[in-house]
Structure formats: C-alpha cells, structure tokens
Amino acid sequence: MLQPEVAERNERMSGEVVLDQEWFAVCDIAEIPEDMGFRLEIGADSAVAAFRVDTTFHVVDDRCSHGAASLADGFIEGAEIECPYHGGKFDLRTGEPTAFPCTKAIRVYETKVEEGRLYARPATMNEGSE
C-alpha cells in the first residue's frame, strides 16, 4: 500500500496518463530482470516500467520527469532507479526524486502478484492496505 501523501500526489500530477482504477497486467514476473526494468506501453504515448528489488516489485511511469528517457533502461541502485540519460534518480517506492537534475516526482503504482503475473493500478487516497 502506498503512503497517503504519495497517492495524493499521484492524483494531483498534471500531464500524466490517467488510467482507471482497475488492475492491469504488466507482465509475468519472470520477464523482469534482476538488475533492469521491464517496459510496457499502455497507450500511444505512454508506458510504465516494472522493477524487481529483491522480492518486491515496483511499477512507475516509464518517462523520466527531467527528459524523454525510458526509466526501464535505467540502473537500479537499492530502491532507486537512475535515469540512463542524466543520472538523476527516483525512489521506486514513492516516486520522489533523490538526485539532481530530477526535481519532479514520477507516478508510482500499487502492485500485486497473482499466479506469477504482476498487476498494477494507479494509487488513490481512499484505498486501504491489501
């Protein structure tokens, strides 16, 4: 479950893809490399990136908020993803930027795994923990 302030920020973000609140399939968990991301296009101009950090899965918007880089091509360092273009970083759990030049947060998604498949949905303020 996302922290309420993260869910609230997700709802306020402008210019981002707005999906309905239903779960969508991202990929089989076996498709996510240990040290890289998995990219899924969810619209003509939008995509999400899925990451595995130990036994936890994270899904975020794939586009770096600083530039047009695909975060799925970035470098995982602990619970952070480093943008492959300019070296900015984001916390995969909250979407908050953790290293310059990134200053704007990215959207994070709630995740669940069922029968070996990763699912995600946009977080909202009103959801309880699962």
pLDDT in tens, 37-86: 999 998 888 999 999 999 999 999 999 999 889 999 999 999 999 999 99
Q: What is the pLDDT of residue 67?
A: 87
pLDDT in tens, 100-113: 999 999 999 999 99
Q: Which domains does the chain have, with CATH numbers?
A: 4-14+43-122 (2.102.10.10)
Q: What is the pLDDT of residue 20?
A: 56
pLDDT in tens, 3-51: 555 445 444 443 344 455 799 999 999 999 988 999 999 888 899 999 9
Confidence of residue 123 (pLDDT cuts 50, 70, 90): confident
Q: What is the pLDDT of residue 17?
A: 41
80 to 22, 24, 40, 98, 114: CA distances (angstroms): 26, 23, 19, 8, 25
- The rounded distance, in Å, linking the Cα atoms of 121 and 26 is 10
Long-range contacts of 17-21 (CB under 8 A, 24+ apart): 17/42, 17/43, 17/46, 17/61, 17/107, 18/122, 19/121, 19/122, 21/121, 21/122, 21/124
Q: What is the pLDDT of residue 9?
A: 45
7 to 33, 34, 68, 84: CA distances (angstroms): 27, 27, 24, 26
Please give the model's pTM, rounded to 2 decimal places.
Answer: 0.80
Backbone angles phi, psi at 34, to 5 degrees: -60, -35
